[in-house]
Structure 1
Amino acid sequence: MYDIIIIGAGTAGIAAYKEAIKHTQNILIINDGPWDTTCARVGCMPSKVLISTANRMHDIEQADEVALKVTSQIDTRDVMPHVRKLRDRFTAATLKDVNSWKPEHKISGKAVFVSPDTVSVNDQHYQAKSFILAVGSTPALNTDWKNELKDRLISSDQVFELDQLPDSMAVIGSGVIAIELAQAMQRLGVKTTIFARSRKVGILTSPFLQELAQTELSKEMDIKFEVLPESVSLKDDTVEISYTENGIQQKIYTDYVLSATGRISNLSSLHLDHISESFTDLKQLPVDPFTKQLGSFPVFVIGDAHTAKPLQHEAAHDGRQIIRNCLNYPDVQKLPVLTGLGIVFSEPEMAIAGKSHKQLIQENISFVTGFVSYERQGRAIVLGKNKGAIEVYVEQKTRKLLGAELLIESAEHLAHLLSWMISENLSIDSILEKPFYHPTLEEGLRTALKHARRQLDA
């Protein structure tokens, strides 16, 4: 019997294995499919390569914003091969690490539970004192559409395998993945249409910033808010999409449809009902959000398989932290919680640090909002990126920074600073004593903090 069996070798599973071998050699990790991560193979990394290329092309085309006149032509034929080349470089690093593990510690195959302490893989049974389920998730796809459109309906797992950039693409969804890929495709010359179920883009929960994000992105992309396709069909190699907009029945024709409507857990493949007959509805699984324990069993679910925050750094953190609960069961403790940090690599970038506007309202916390627009922010004007705004949320009673939402150039960097400040429980007064170099985008953050302080002092 093993001390721990880990099922899944993505970010969470790999992190768990690396931590587990510090405490015991009596472990096994089972993986069905490639021994690399969603992030490296089909997620964070290849998408950022595509976005980086797209943004460079956009900057060239918009060079007049910094007084340059450009007459050169841009050839995009090597874009997709470049994406795959760098993707393969990132996955190779992960695979090199995995290949260095002891062979007796890993098995390739599909694991299913046959009892609470036993799984079957390749017709062999393996027992463990505790289990870590890190099987990840899969993009959701409409099966009827897939049957109709075949290889013309793709997910974010498949988009990077396109040999060349298509002439046109329809994107279903307006969340993080949808917005990032749609904007990149549009900037690379792909005529892109977004069908959005709601009037929301990305992750922002501030009513003002959300509306501002919709306005800014709509200047560049055709976003059909609160409009979804009513039917799709394949005409030769072209997709016909029928929909109703403003009460008028319309059709568009596109090369591909990219479905980015969310991801579904891979837990369904494990036969969890063999642990308990009550574990049949994945949406109702009794997974403790703080300990990651499944019911009262020595089974722990981490990573994208069951989380409200499907983020790479959260998965790695949980993978490292969960080992203590596995080895000390039934003495199960809450895992340390990371300060909130979410980023959308659009332009302007979106980010949330700490608690969001929506969370603060839901938790009935009294706070003031410090605001700054970046339309007239000095450094942003110099860069030709003077769009968007920042909101910072400061608790009235303690004067501590609780959260922030950002829609600006390089929000990814300021969001990290803000998240670290929040994790240190800093007050707005102590933050404003820190240095703010001139001229930088950080100076705008100081303006927002001062705006909040004036409200508190009043």
Structure 2
Amino acid sequence: MYDIIIIGAGTAGIAAYKEAIKKTQNILIINDGSWDTTCARVGCMPSKILISTANRVYDIQHADEVELTVKAQIDTSHVMQHVQSLRDRFTKATLKDVNSWEKSHKISGKAEFIDAQTVQVANQKYQAKSFIVAVGSTPSFNREWKESLGDLLITSDQIFELNELPKRLAVIGSGVIAIEIAQAMHRLGVETTVFARSEKVGSLTSPTLQKNAIEVLSNELNIKFKVLPEHVQKYRNKVKIEFTEHGQSQQLITDYLLVATGRDSLLNTLKLQNIDTSFSDITKLPIDPHTKQLAQLPIFVVGDAFTSTPIQHEAAHEGRQAVQNCLNFSKLKNIKTLTPLGIMFSSPEMAGVGQNFKSLTHQKTAFVTGYASYEKQGRAIVNGKNQGGVEVYVDIKTRKLLGAELFIQSAEHLAHLLAWMVGQKLTVDEVLDNPFYHPTLEEGLRTALKHARRQLKAV
């Protein structure tokens, strides 16, 4: 019997293995499919390569933002090869690490639970005192559409495998993945159409910033809000999409249909119902949100197998922390300890830190909102990137910074600063006692914080 069996070798599973091997040699990791992680292969890394290239093209074409006149011929014919080459570089690094592990500690195959202490892989049974389940998720899509379109319907698992940029692309969804890829493709010269179920883009919950984001992104992208395809079919090796907009029936011919409407957990591949029949509905599993424990069992579910925020650094953290709970089952500790931090790499970028506007409002927390527009922010104007704004949320009673939302260029950097502030439970006064260099984008945070502090005086 193993001390720990880890199921899944994505970011969470690999982090769990690296931590577990420090504590015991009596471990096993089981993985069905590739061992190079979703992030490196089809997620974080290839998407950022594509976005980086697309933003470079955009900056060349919009040099007039800083009063430059540029005449350039841009050849995008090698973009996908560039994406794949760098992607392979990152996946090779992960695989090199995995290949250095003891062969007796890892097996490839599909694991299925027989009971709370036993899994089966290819008719071979393996038992453990505890389990870390890190099977991850897979892109969701309409099965009927897939049957009709075949390889012309793609998800984020396939788009980075294209040999060349398509001429036309339709995207279903307006969330993080959908907008990131749609904007990148548009900037690379792909005629891109986005179909959105609701009038919302990205990850922002602030009504003010969401309205601003819709306005800014709609000026660049062709987003059809509250419009979805009614019928799709293959037509001359392309995709014909029929839809209704403004009461009129319309159709669109495109090279591919990219579905980016979310991800489905792979927990349903584990036959958890063999442990308890009530586990047949994986959306209702009794998983403790803090310890990640399944019911009262020595089974811990980590990473994006059971979460609404599939974020790489959180998955790695949960994987490492779950090992401690597996080996100290009588003294469980909270695994979810990191300050929430989410970043969307659109342009401008979106970010959320700590508690967002929606959660604070839902909880009826007494807070004030400090706001700073970046349309008039000095350094943003200098950079020719003066769009969007920042909101910070401050507790009225304690004056502590609770969270923030951002829609600005370089939000990824400012969001980290804010996350560390929230994590240290700093008050608005303590934050404002720190230096803010001039002229920098960080000064916009000071503007928002001072706006919040002025409101506190009036309460």
Common fold: TM-score over 0.5: yes
Structure 2 match to 1:320: 320
CA distance in 1, matches of 2:121, 2:331: 29
* Corresponding residue SS for 1:308: coil
Structure 2 residue 154 is the aligned partner of structure 1 residue 154: yes
Structure 2 match to 1:107: 107
Structure 1 match to 2:119: 119
Structure 2 residue 259 is the aligned partner of structure 1 residue 274: no
Paired residues for 1:197-208 under 5 Å: 197-208=197-208
Structure 2 match to 1:360: 360
Q: Structure 1 residue 85: deviation in Å?
A: 0.3
Native 8 Å contact 2:291 2:336 kept in 1 = no
Q: Structure 1 residue 223: deviation in Å?
A: 0.5
Residues 113-171 of structure 1: CA distance to partner in whole angstroms, max 9, x if unpaired? Answer: 12221111122111001111100000001110001111110000100000000000000
* Corresponding residue SS for 1:421: helix
TM-score, normalising length: structure 1: 0.99
Paired residues for 1:198-277 under 5 Å: 198-277=198-277
Structure 1 match to 2:32: 32
CA distance in 1, matches of 2:381, 2:331: 56
Structure 2 residue 196 is the aligned partner of structure 1 residue 196: yes
Structure 1 match to 2:128: 128
Unaligned runs of 5+ in 2: none
Structure 2 match to 1:16: 16
Structure 2 match to 1:455: 455
Residues 300-350 of structure 1: CA distance to partner in whole angstroms, max 9, x if unpaired? Answer: 110010012210011000001011111122433322511110100000100
Structure 2 match to 1:173: 173
Structure 2 residue 300 is the aligned partner of structure 1 residue 300: yes
Q: Structure 1 residue 211: deviation in Å?
A: 0.8
Which amino acid letter does the alignment assign opposite residue 282 of structure 1? I
CA distance in 2, matches of 1:179, 1:37: 22
CA distance in 2, matches of 1:370, 1:302: 35
Structure 2 match to 1:285: 285
Q: Structure 1 residue 32: deviation in Å?
A: 0.7
Which amino acid letter does the alignment assign opposite residue 455 of structure 1? Q
Structure 2 match to 1:351: 351
Structure 2 match to 1:338: 338
Structure 2 match to 1:45: 45
Structure 2 match to 1:70: 70
Structure 2 residue 430 is the aligned partner of structure 1 residue 421: no
* Corresponding residue SS for 2:452: helix
CA distance in 2, matches of 1:90, 1:296: 38
Which amino acid letter does the alignment assign opposite residue 241 of structure 1? I
Which amino acid letter does the alignment assign opposite residue 31 of structure 2? N
Native 8 Å contact 1:196 1:227 kept in 2 = yes
* Corresponding residue SS for 1:219: helix
Which amino acid letter does the alignment assign opposite residue 118 of structure 1? T
Identity %: 66
Unaligned runs of 5+ in 1: none
Which amino acid letter does the alignment assign opposite residue 291 of structure 1? T
CA distance in 1, matches of 2:422, 2:297: 35
* Corresponding residue SS for 1:334: coil
CA distance in 1, matches of 2:243, 2:257: 14
* Corresponding residue SS for 1:192: strand
CA distance in 1, matches of 2:308, 2:172: 21
Native 8 Å contact 1:298 1:330 kept in 2 = no
Residues 390-414 of structure 1: CA distance to partner in whole angstroms, max 9, x if unpaired? Answer: 1111111111111111000100000
CA distance in 1, matches of 2:401, 2:328: 36
Native 8 Å contact 1:140 1:264 kept in 2 = yes
CA distance in 2, matches of 1:307, 1:258: 23
Cα RMSD between the aligned structures? 0.8
CA distance in 1, matches of 2:273, 2:43: 30
Which amino acid letter does the alignment assign opposite residue 442 of structure 1? E
Residues 187-225 of structure 1: CA distance to partner in whole angstroms, max 9, x if unpaired? Answer: 000000000001111110000100110100000000011
CA distance in 2, matches of 1:2, 1:20: 12
Aligned pairs, number: 458
Structure 2 residue 385 is the aligned partner of structure 1 residue 388: no
Native 8 Å contact 2:289 2:336 kept in 1 = no
Which amino acid letter does the alignment assign opposite residue 191 of structure 2? K
CA distance in 1, matches of 2:34, 2:170: 29
Q: Structure 1 residue 425: deviation in Å?
A: 0.8
CA distance in 1, matches of 2:91, 2:324: 28
* Corresponding residue SS for 2:76: coil
CA distance in 2, matches of 1:94, 1:5: 20
Which amino acid letter does the alignment assign opposite residue 89 of structure 2? R
Paired residues for 1:81-96 under 5 Å: 81-96=81-96
Which amino acid letter does the alignment assign opposite residue 152 of structure 1? L
CA distance in 2, matches of 1:341, 1:126: 37
Residues 216-249 of structure 1: CA distance to partner in whole angstroms, max 9, x if unpaired? Answer: 0000000011110000011111111011111111
* Corresponding residue SS for 2:64: helix
* Corresponding residue SS for 1:195: strand
Native 8 Å contact 1:6 1:30 kept in 2 = yes
Which amino acid letter does the alignment assign opposite residue 329 of structure 1? F
